[in-house]
Chains A and B, each alone.
Chain A
């Protein structure tokens, strides 16, 4: 069985179906991209996997164990970390304290947690920011911090919700590099992204959602040529200039 297995997931909010009959799986060591127009159910899918939203139907297995209906904190403890579309932190605490709190999950003492936090901050290139309260960080810095906090919880799989949005091209390149490096260290990724260049370059596999349903799945190259994907993004009845 795959590392993460999602079967027939469904969730509707007051009659509006946000996710419908969604099934997919993520293998160990993979990077899976999720794309789709606004309102396609991408973030809802993350919320369902991480327990922030309870699904109406369907099941989610992580390492062959059913994690559906568990609290977000329990799911994190099992090794799934998610970032939020608008980066979340503890705003009146410093960068170091933010990471320290995350590192306490696996470290028995404050001192060890502090050491680990410093190590991870250095690795993510945030060590010189460690004394700043996170409410003063820029948005790219906040996104980087979320990733850093996530690493401190020793995740097996990371769900990244638009961590590249709003970043400069150079910063995007950096982030891509970091993700590749972390993958090499054994972390699996599921990535929601609107920056197509990123999705196409790092994903092993891409899942396309539209109106809460999976409309396509395949390698980046395959998906980008599928007519229903183009239709979902640009609407029907459009003629394309072939190159």
Chain B
């Protein structure tokens, strides 16, 4: 029974992926629609990266913008100063963010901070970076950095067609979802879930909790930073508020909560539901009454959380899949 469901799910996911690969060729999208798709994928990607740490391992970070920003700033800064290739800059940014993750992870986990205390540490770290980057002139200060235009092409990570960006972020999203799926059935995944479920019980069966938490923080930070570089290369512009601000951290957090924290597809489902919806409402209401679209968005969020407290995946599971049964 279970394998039947799993094979159906696999077919569904493969079908979805093929559909997503084909749609730029099947339909002619306006540049605006394609932009919405790319940004939806972008947030699905970031939220899935957050989900590794916040969902699977249960260490809720509210400062993931710090990692995204470090990625975006590293690649852009070195591109501007020494003409470093953005792809290498992307890896470099990932490593910078990984080190930052290791640093705040070590500080927090070594001193047994978790739950809300870990959340506060991550907010504080992101805010420190935000203020720091807003005031360092060589990093553009509050007005940000502009990515210099180079010759178009894969090598320079610059394309005139949005379709190429679409495929890059689709590949990145596919990778992180696949990664999440694979570790969730390996030792690493089991250990991270054990830590989320009950840290004391995990220690009592010999799991080196600090090491595993540090490992997943580093991975999550590294992958988030790659997203930051993508964003910089896509929009050609970064500033502290879009790349490091708390607004970004909250947005990264909202999609998994709505979609299903700790599930493989939850963050993407959340982003696919909310991001286009928000854009749609903004399109209708944004021009008429300033701020009205945010109120509607807020109401929709509240309604979703009332009817699907476990996220959309939780709702789906309750309705169609395995009931949370007492007996096998």
Give A residues with C-beta under 8 Å from B.
Answer: 50, 52, 71-74, 76-77, 81-82, 84, 88-93, 97, 100-102, 104-105, 110, 130-133, 136, 149-150, 152-153
Contact = CB atoms under 8 A, between A and B. Distances in A.
Contact of B198 (A71, A89, A110, A131): A89
A31 B38 CA distance: 65
Given A92-B197, A132-B326, A97 B190 contact: yes
B205 interface: yes
B191 interface: yes
A84 B199 CA distance: 13
A73 B209 contact: yes
A120 to B, nearest CB: 13
Contacts of A149: 205
B152 interface: no
Interface string B58-90: 000000000000000000000000000000000
Nearest to B186: A110
Contact of A153 (B187, B193, B206, B326): B206
Interface string B173-213: 00000000000011100110110011011111111111000
Interface residues of B, number: 24
A110 B204 CA distance: 19
B6 interface: no
B150 interface: no
A132 B197 contact: no
A93 B197 contact: yes
A153 B205 contact: yes
B205 A76 contact: yes
A104 B187 contact: yes
B288 interface: no
B205 A84 contact: no
B198 A90 contact: yes
Contacts of B193: 90, 93
Nearest to A102: B205
Contacts of B185: 110
Interface centre among A88, A131, A149, A152, by most B CB within 10 Å? Answer: A88
A176 B197 CA distance: 30
Nearest to A83: B204
A137 to B, nearest CB: 10
Nearest to B208: A73
B201 A104 contact: no
A101 B191 contact: yes
B138 interface: no
Q: Which 5 A-B pairs have the closest CB atoms?
A: A131-B328, A90-B197, A76-B206, A88-B201, A72-B203
Contacts of B202: 73, 90, 101
B205 A101 contact: yes
A88 B206 contact: no
B327 A73 contact: no
Contacts of A100: 190
A131 B324 CA distance: 11
A104 B207 CA distance: 9
Interface string B286-322: 0000000000000000000000000000000000000
Nearest to A105: B206
Contacts of B187: 104, 110
Contact of B204 (A84, A97, A130, A131): A84
B204 A72 contact: yes
Nearest to B262: A92
Most chain A beta-carbon neighbours within 10 Å: one of B185, B194, B200, B324: B194
A71 to B, nearest CB: 7
Given A93-B193, A101-B191, A131-B328, A73 B203 contact: yes
Contacts of B200: 52, 72, 84, 88
30 contacts: A71-B203, A71-B210, A72-B200, A72-B204, A74-B208, A76-B203, A76-B206, A82-B204, A84-B200, A88-B198, A88-B204, A89-B198, A90-B193, A90-B201, A91-B197, A92-B197, A93-B197, A97-B190, A101-B191, A101-B207, A105-B206, A110-B185, A110-B187, A130-B328, A131-B327, A131-B328, A132-B326, A132-B327, A132-B328, A133-B324
A130 B209 CA distance: 25
Given A90-B193, A101-B191, 19 more contacts: A52-B200, A71-B210, A73-B206, A73-B209, A76-B203, A76-B205, A81-B205, A84-B201, A90-B197, A90-B198, A90-B201, A91-B197, A91-B198, A93-B197, A101-B202, A101-B205, A102-B205, A132-B326, A150-B205
